[in-house]
C-alpha cells in the first residue's frame, strides 16, 4: 500500500488570522502535490531516524534543517530510548520539559522509570513517577515506598490491584511485603482467588494458595489444578470431601475437561455427580459444557443433549449449536424446532433468518420461505447474498458518498496531533502514526472522526478509513471501506497466480484491513498475513526471490506471495474459493478433517457446521467481501453461489461473458446496508452505482513501515 502526498501543515499565522480562502487553497494543493521541500524533509527524517535508533548524537548532523519539522521530537526520543541503560536523569528531564504532552515524551518517561526500577534507583524513580502509568510502574512505586521503610496500607495501596486476576512480576515483592505485614487476610486471599478462578487464571490461584491456612491451601491448590490440569483433578476428585470449594473445583475441572475431551468428561461426570452435592447452577454449567462440546464434535448424542438442557442451563451458544447440529444432520423438523427455541434477538440475526427460510423450503412451506428469503436479501451480507441467489434477485448494496467540508478539513489538517499522525504514516512509522491518530481523535464527535477517516483514505492510509468508518451511515461508504489500491498490483498478481482479483482483495480486507505493518501473535505479517516460513516455501515453489520475514511488510512482496499461496489452497480444493478461504484461516488439515466428517453437505450447510467460530465468520466475511469487491471492480457481481461450488466439483474462473448479477439499492423501509458483520441504514433511493474501478484513492510511495 502506498501513501498519497500528505497534506502540508497550514501555516499557523494563517490559522490565527482565520484565512479561510488561503486554508482551502492549501488543502487543495495538499492533495494534488506535496509543497516544495516536504519530500526532502521526509527523506532526511528517515535517514536521521535510522541514525537516532543507533543512539548517541550522530543523528543531529543528518537532522540539520529539520528543527521545525513536526516529527523532529521523535528523533531525540529514539536516541534516548536506545541509550536508556546509560542515561542520567538530566537529558530525560530536558526532553520532557521541551515536549510535554507528546506521546514519545510519555513513552520515554515510562521506559526510563522502568530502567530506574531495574537499577533500584528508588529516589530518582519517586521524583519522576506519575500515577496512572500501568500496573508494573504502580508496583515499582510501591517498591520505592517499601525501600524507604514506609508500611503499605491495603485500601490505599493495594485495593485496586487486588481486584485484578493477574498482575505483572513487578508486583510480586509488593504482595510478599503485604503478606508479611499481615494485610492479606484469608478473606482477602479467597476474594482474589475467586476473581482469578472466574477468569481462568490457574497460575494466580496456585501462587495465592500458600498464603492460606493449611486446609484452605489444599483446596485452593485443587481449584488451581482444576484449571491447569483438569484430567488429574478429576481422577483425584473421588477422594475429595463434599465441601463448597471442592464443589467449585470439580465444576471447573469438568467444564475444562469437556472442552478438551468431552467423552472423558462424560465418564468423570457419571462417577462424580452423586459424590458432590452440587447446586442447580453448578449442574447446569456442567451439563451446558458437556452438551456444547459434544455438539462441536458432532457426536451422535449432541442434538438430544442440547434439546434436553433445562432452561437455566441454556445459553445463546447452546441454542445456536442445536440449530447447527440439526442442519448438519439435515433433520429439517429438528432444525425448525431448534430455530424456534432461539432467543428473540437471535431470531432476528440474518444467519438464522436465512436458515429458517431454507428449512421452511425443505419442509414444503415455499411461500413462507420465499418471503423470508426476500427479507434477508435486502442486506449486503453473506446471508443476504445467499438469500438473493435463492430467489434470483439483485444484490442490495446502498452506496453513499461523503459531503466535502473544506473548512473543517483544513482545520483537521492543521491539528498538531493529526499532522503528526499523517506525517508518521508518510515516513513509514505506522504504529506510531496510529497512536497519534487515536490520541488526536479521542473524544471527537462522530462527524469529525468520519471526516478524518475520509482524509486518511484520500491519502492512501486505508486502514484508518476501514476502522474509522465502521458504524451507522458510514457503513455505506463502500469506496473508503473497500479500497481497491490497484497500485499494489492485486489485479495483476491475482491474474498471474490464476485466481480472481475480487477474492484476493477480500482476503486482504479480512486479514489486515489494509494495515501493511500488521503482525499477529502467531507472527503472520503484512496485508495477507503470511507466516515467514510459509512465505519462504511459497517463494521457493514459485521460483520467487525471498528476502526474509521483514519483506512481507512490503505490500508488493506480500501480495505476490499471498496470491500464490491462495492459489495453492485453491488448487487443493478444486479451485473452490470458499474452501480455500477456510483453509487459509484454519489450516488445510482442519478443513480436511471437516470434509471427511461432513463433506456431503451443501456449501452453506458445511459453513454453518464449521466448529471454529472464527473460521465460520471468516469464510462468510471473505465471500461477502468478494461480492462487494467484484461490484467495486466491475459495477455488478458474480453470484456468491458461483464461488461456493459443491464439495468435490471443480470451480472454473469466470469468463468475460460470465453471468453477473445487478446491484441495486432497495427502498429505505426495507434496505439495510451491511458488509460481513457491519450494519447500517439504507440509502434513500434505488441506486445503480457506476463501476468503482476508477477509485479516487490516490497513489502514494511510502507504504513500508
The total number of structural domains that make up the chain: 2
Active-site annotation holds for 511: yes
**Coil, helix or strand at residue 277:** coil
Assigned C-alpha cell, 637: 457481481
Low-confidence winner among 206-220, 566-580, 647-661 (lowest mean pLDDT) = 647-661
Assigned C-alpha cell, 621: 466475511
What is the 3-class SS of 361-427, one letter each residue?
HHCCCHHHHHHHHHHHCCECCHHHHHHHHHCCCCEECCCCCCCCCHHHHHHHHHCHHHHHHHHHHHC
pLDDT of residue 487: 67
pLDDT class of 657 with cuts at 50, 70, 90: confident
Cell numbers 430467489: residue: 391
Taking 60 as the threshold, does the pLDDT of residue 120 lie above it? yes
pLDDT class of 5 with cuts at 50, 70, 90: very low
Question: Does a structural domain hold residue 546?
Answer: yes
Instruction: Give Cα separations from 457 to 27, 511, 677 (angstroms).
Output: 15, 18, 21
CATH assignment of the domain containing 566: 1.10.530.10
Question: Does a structural domain hold residue 81?
Answer: yes
pLDDT of residue 685: 27
pLDDT of residue 38: 82
pLDDT of residue 702: 25
Taking 80 as the threshold, does the pLDDT of residue 533 lie above it? yes
CATH assignment of the domain containing 28: 1.25.20.10
Taking 60 as the threshold, does the pLDDT of residue 331 lie above it? yes
Question: Does a structural domain hold residue 324?
Answer: no
pLDDT of residue 666: 83
Q: 557 or 36, which is more confident?
A: 557
- CA gyration radius for the chain? 29
Cell numbers 520475514: residue: 549
pLDDT of residue 2: 35
pLDDT of residue 656: 85
pLDDT of residue 21: 31
Question: Does a structural domain hold residue 143?
Answer: yes
Instruction: Give Cα separations from 41 to 13, 57, 458 (angstroms).
Output: 21, 19, 21
Question: Does a structural domain hold residue 623?
Answer: yes
Percent pLDDT > 90 in the chain is 86
Alpha-carbon dihedral sign for residues 8, 12, 18, 22 = negative
Separation of alpha carbons 43 and 472, rounded Å: 39
Beta-bridge partner residues of 530 = 525
Q: Do residues 35 and 10 lie in contact, with contact meaning Cβ atoms separated by under 8 Å?
A: no
Assigned C-alpha cell, 269: 461426570
Question: Does a structural domain hold residue 508?
Answer: yes
Cell numbers 451511515: residue: 473
Cell numbers 461490484: residue: 631
Per-residue pLDDT, averaged over 682-701, amounts to: 29
pLDDT tens digit sequence for 340-357: 999 999 999 999 999 999
Top mean pLDDT of 36-40, 468-472, 479-483, 678-682 is at 479-483
Assigned C-alpha cell, 322: 442445536
Low-confidence winner among 282-296, 432-446, 565-579, 691-705 (lowest mean pLDDT) = 691-705
663: part of which helix (H) or strand (E)?
strand 663-664
Taking 80 as the threshold, does the pLDDT of residue 679 lie above it? no
pLDDT class of 541 with cuts at 50, 70, 90: very high
Q: Do residues 294 and 305 lie in contact, with contact meaning Cβ atoms separated by under 8 Å?
A: yes
Assigned C-alpha cell, 249: 473445583
pLDDT of residue 221: 98
State the pTM of this model.
0.87
pLDDT of residue 674: 45
Separation of alpha carbons 269 and 290, rounded Å: 9
Cell numbers 479500497: residue: 483
Last residue of a domain, one of 88, 123, 158: 158
CA dihedral 511, 514, 515, 520 (to 10 degrees): 10
Taking 50 as the threshold, does the pLDDT of residue 7 lie above it? no
Taking 80 as the threshold, does the pLDDT of residue 26 lie above it? no
CA dihedral 148, 150, 156, 162 (to 10 degrees): 80
Q: Do residues 546 and 535 lie in contact, with contact meaning Cβ atoms separated by under 8 Å?
A: yes
Catalytic residue among 76, 379, 436, 511: 511
Assigned C-alpha cell, 60: 543531529
Assigned C-alpha cell, 170: 513487578
**For the chain, what is the mean pLDDT?**
89
Cell numbers 484476493: residue: 504
pLDDT class of 668 with cuts at 50, 70, 90: low
Q: Which domain holds residue 646?
A: 486-664
pLDDT class of 687 with cuts at 50, 70, 90: very low
Per-residue pLDDT, averaged over 667-674, amounts to: 48
Assigned C-alpha cell, 57: 548524537
Question: Does a structural domain hold residue 584?
Answer: yes
pLDDT class of 498 with cuts at 50, 70, 90: very high
Instruction: Give Cα separations from 391 to 191, 388, 488 (angstroms).
Output: 57, 5, 37
Taking 60 as the threshold, does the pLDDT of residue 697 lie above it? no
Percent pLDDT > 70 in the chain is 89
pLDDT of residue 486: 66
Q: 305 or 38, which is more confident?
A: 305
Separation of alpha carbons 122 and 141, rounded Å: 8
pLDDT of residue 230: 97
Question: Does a structural domain hold residue 454?
Answer: no
Amino acid at each position: 500500500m502506498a501513501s498519497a502526498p500528505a497534506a502540508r501543515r497550514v501555516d499557523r499565522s494563517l490559522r490565527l488570522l482565520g484565512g479561510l480562502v488561503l486554508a482551502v487553497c492549501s488543502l487543495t494543493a495538499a492533495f494534488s502535490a506535496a509543497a516544495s521541500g516536504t519530500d526532502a524533509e521526509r527523506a532526511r527524517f528517515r535517514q536521521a531516524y535510522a541514525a537516532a535508533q543507533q543512539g548517541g548524537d550522530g543523528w543531529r548532523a543528518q537532522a540539520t534543517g529539520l528543527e521545525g519539522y513536526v516529527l523532529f521530537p521523535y528523533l531525540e526520543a529514539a536516541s534516548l530510548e536506545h541509550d536508556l541503560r546509560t542515561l542520567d536523569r538530566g537529558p530525560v528531564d530536558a526532553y520532557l520539559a521541551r515536549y510535554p504532552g507528546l506521546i514519545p515524551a510519555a513513552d520515554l518517561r515510562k521506559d526510563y522509570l522502568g530502567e530506574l526500577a531495574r537499577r533500584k534507583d528508588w529516589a530518582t524513580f519517586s521524583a519522576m513517577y506519575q500515577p496512572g502509568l500501568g500496573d508494573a510502574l504502580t508496583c515499582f512505586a510501591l517498591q520505592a515506598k517499601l525501600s524507604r521503610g514506609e508500611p503499605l496500607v491495603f485500601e490505599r495501596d493495594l485495593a485496586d490491584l487486588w481486584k485484578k486476576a493477574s498482575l505483572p512480576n513487578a508486583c510480586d515483592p509488593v504482595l510478599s511485603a503485604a503478606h508479611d505485614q499481615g494485610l492479606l487476610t484469608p478473606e482477602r486471599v479467597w476474594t482474589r482467588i475467586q476473581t482469578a478462578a472466574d477468569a481462568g487464571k490457574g497460575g494466580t490461584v496456585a501462587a495465592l494458595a500458600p498464603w492460606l491456612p493449611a486446609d484452605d491451601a489444599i483446596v485452593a491448590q485443587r481449584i488451581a489444578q482444576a484449571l491447569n490440569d483438569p484430567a488429574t483433578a478429576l481422577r483425584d476428585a473421588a477422594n475429595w470431601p463434599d465441601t463448597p470449594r471442592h464443589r467449585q473445583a470439580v465444576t471447573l475441572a469438568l467444564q475444562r475437561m469437556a472442552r478438551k475431551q468431552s467423552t472423558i468428561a462424560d465418564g468423570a461426570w457419571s462417577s462424580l455427580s452423586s459424590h458432590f452435592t452440587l447446586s442447580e447452577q453448578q449442574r447446569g454449567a456442567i451439563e451446558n459444557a458437556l452438551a456444547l462440546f459434544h455438539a462441536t464434535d458432532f457426536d451422535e448424542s449432541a442434538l438430544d443433549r442440547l434439546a434436553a438442557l433445562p432452561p437455566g442451563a441454556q445459553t445463546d451458544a447452546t441454542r445456536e449449536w442445536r440449530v447447527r447440529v440439526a442442519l448438519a444432520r439435515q433433520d429439517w423438523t429438528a432444525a425448525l424446532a431448534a430455530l424456534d427455541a432461539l432467543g428473540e434477538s437471535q431470531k432476528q440475526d440474518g444467519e438464522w433468518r436465512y436458515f429458517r427460510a431454507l428449512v421452511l423450503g425443505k419442509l414444503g412451506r415455499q411461500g413462507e420461505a420465499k418471503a423470508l428469503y426476500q427479507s434477508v436479501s435486502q442486506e449486503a451480507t453473506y446471508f443476504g447474498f445467499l438469500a438473493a441467489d435463492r430467489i434470483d434477485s439483485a444484490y442490495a448494496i446502498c452506496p453513499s458518498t461523503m459531503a466535502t467540508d473544506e473548512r473543517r478539513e483544513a482545520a483537521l489538517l492543521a491539528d498538531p496531533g493529526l499532522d503528526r499522525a499523517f506525517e508518521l504514516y508518510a515516513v513509514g512509522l505506522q504504529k506510531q502514526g496510529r497512536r497519534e491518530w487515536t490520541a488526536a481523535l479521542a473524544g471527537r464527535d462522530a462527524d469529525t472522526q468520519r471526516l478524518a477517516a475520509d482524509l486518511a483514505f484520500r491519502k492512501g492510509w486505508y486502514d484508518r478509513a476501514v476502522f474509522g468508518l465502521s458504524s451507522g451511515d458510514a457503513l455505506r461508504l463502500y469506496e473508503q471501506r473497500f479500497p481497491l489500491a490497484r497500485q499494489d498490483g492485486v489485479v495483476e498478481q491475482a491474474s498471474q497466480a490464476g485466481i480472481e482479483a475480487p477474492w484476493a482483495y477480500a482476503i486482504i480486507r479480512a486479514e489486515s484491513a489494509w494495515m501493511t505493518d500488521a503482525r499477529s501473535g502467531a507472527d503472520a505479517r503484512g496485508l495477507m498475513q503470511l507466516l515467514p516460513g510459509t512465505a519462504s516455501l511459497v517463494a521457493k515453489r514459485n521460483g520467487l526471490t525471498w528476502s526474509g520475514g521483514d519483506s512481507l511488510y512490503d505490500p508488493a512482496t506480500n501480495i505476490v506471495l499471498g496470491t500464490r499461496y491462495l492459489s495453492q489452497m485453491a488448487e487443493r480444493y478444486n479451485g473452490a474459493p470458499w474452501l480455500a478461504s477456510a483453509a487459509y484461516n484454519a489450516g488445510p488439515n482442519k478443513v480436511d478433517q471437516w470434509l471427511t466428517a461432513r463433506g456431503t453437505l451443501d456449501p452453506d450447510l458445511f459453513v454453518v457446521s464449521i466448529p471454529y467460530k472464527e473460521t465460520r465468520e471468516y469464510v462468510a466475511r471473505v465471500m461477502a467481501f468478494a461480492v462487494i469487491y467484484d461490484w467495486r471492480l466491475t459495477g455488478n457481481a458474480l453470484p456468491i453461489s458461483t464461488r461456493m461450488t459443491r464439495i468435490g466439483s471443480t470451480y472454473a474462473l469466470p469468463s468475460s461473458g460470465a453471468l453477473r448479477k445487478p446491484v441495486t439499492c432497495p427502498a429505505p423501509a426495507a434496505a439495510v446496508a451491511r458488509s460481513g458483520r457491519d450494519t447500517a441504514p439504507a440509502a434513500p433511493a434505488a441506486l445503480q452505482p457506476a463501476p468503482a474501478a476508477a477509485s479516487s484513492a490516490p497513489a502514494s510511495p511510502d507504504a513500508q513501515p
